[in-house]
């Protein structure tokens, strides 16, 4: 069941995709998505961002205090990747765990910056890194499902970096809070490539969301990305689960 998110969302932030400016160049299903978030001071994130963007801020109460931003550890399964109308088949199916932060540019476009993306298949990792400039890494990654639970585990090739997260899936979210909308309904990514920061827009249906509880979390990726040491040892401030959406990306501009 898809949750219809309210039109307002966080102040100044649309909870419904504005639509792509042109035809999508890639389409992907994101399944069994786990969102784990911590709130941090914007000053801890700002030095990690590309030129032309700044931390997007919102307090836990849904009010923009100008100083609180968020760090996300996001785990999910890529499925049914296609370059419309051509599907790439099983080559495009893999597990990913990424570290992301929230950004806004001088044109008011709200998005994310990926500090790292660890993917469980070599060909998509290399292809995405070359095509988009995103910091993709090849990893051993897997997903496990259980009764009311979902777990992800990965190890980055050639390193000792690991990440494991398991959550218990709770009640369906019938009315997302402004913060839950802010953390999930992001309609683009800011990417530094060839000396310029580009905005790659995306669109998808509203997220069907469930609140969730962390049962296990061990992570090296947050620290490796340059975020405050020990962040993964703190209790997360927001944990959500979604069975997934189908996402379409436009060309970066």
Domain-located, residue 155: yes
Domain-located, residue 187: yes
Query: How many distinct helices (H) and strands (E) make up the chain?
Result: 4, 13
pLDDT tens digit sequence for 27-61: 999 999 999 999 999 999 999 999 999 999 999 99
Domain-located, residue 71: yes
Domain that holds residue 35: 27-249
CATH code: domain of residue 160: 2.40.400.10
Domain-located, residue 4: no
Pairing of strands 136-146, 110-119: parallel
Residue 180: CB partners within 8 Å, gap ≥ 6?
A: 173, 209, 238, 240
CA proximity to 50, closest of 101, 117, 124, 118: 101
How many domains does one find in the chain?
1
Domain-located, residue 135: yes
CA 165 to chain centroid, in Å, comes to 15
Beta carbons within 10 angstroms of residue 11's beta carbon: 11
pLDDT tens digit sequence for 158-204: 999 999 999 999 999 999 999 999 999 999 999 998 888 999 999 99
Domain-located, residue 19: no
Domain-located, residue 96: yes
Domain-located, residue 169: yes
Lowest mean pLDDT among 21-30, 136-145, 172-181: 21-30
In 120-237, at which residue ranges do the beta strands (DSSP E only) sit? 136-146, 149-156, 162-172, 188-193, 196-203, 210-219
């Amino acid at each position: 069941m898809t949750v219809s998110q309210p039109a307002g969302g966080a102040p100044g932030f649309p909870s419904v995709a504005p639509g792509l400016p042109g035809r999508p160049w890639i389409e992907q299903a994101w399944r069994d998505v786990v969102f784990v978030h911590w709130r941090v001071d914007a000053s801890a994130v700002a030095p990690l961002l590309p030129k032309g963007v700044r931390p997007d801020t919102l307090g836990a109460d849904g009010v923009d205090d100008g100083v609180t931003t968020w760090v996300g550890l996001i785990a999910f399964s890529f499925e049914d990747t296609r370059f419309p109308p051509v599907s790439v088949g099983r080559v495009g199916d893999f597990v990913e765990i990424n570290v992301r932060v929230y950004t806004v540019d001088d044109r008011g476009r709200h998005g994310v910056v990926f500090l790292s993306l660890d993917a469980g298949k070599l060909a998509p990792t290399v292809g995405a890194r070359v095509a988009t400039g995103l910091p993709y890494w090849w990893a051993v990654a897997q997903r496990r499902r259980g009764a009311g639970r979902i777990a992800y585990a990965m190890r980055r090739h050639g390193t000792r970096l690991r990440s494991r997260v398991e959550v218990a899936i709770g009640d369906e979210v019938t009315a997302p809070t402004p913060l839950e909308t802010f953390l999930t309904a992001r309609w683009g990514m800011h990417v530094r490539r060839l000396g310029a920061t580009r905005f790659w827009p995306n669109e998808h249906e509203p997220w069907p969301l469930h609140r969730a509880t962390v049962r296990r979390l061990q992570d090296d990726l947050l620290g490796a990305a340059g975020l405050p040491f020990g962040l993964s040892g703190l209790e997360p401030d927001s944990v959500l689960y979604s069975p997934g959406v189908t996402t379409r990306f436009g060309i970066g501009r």
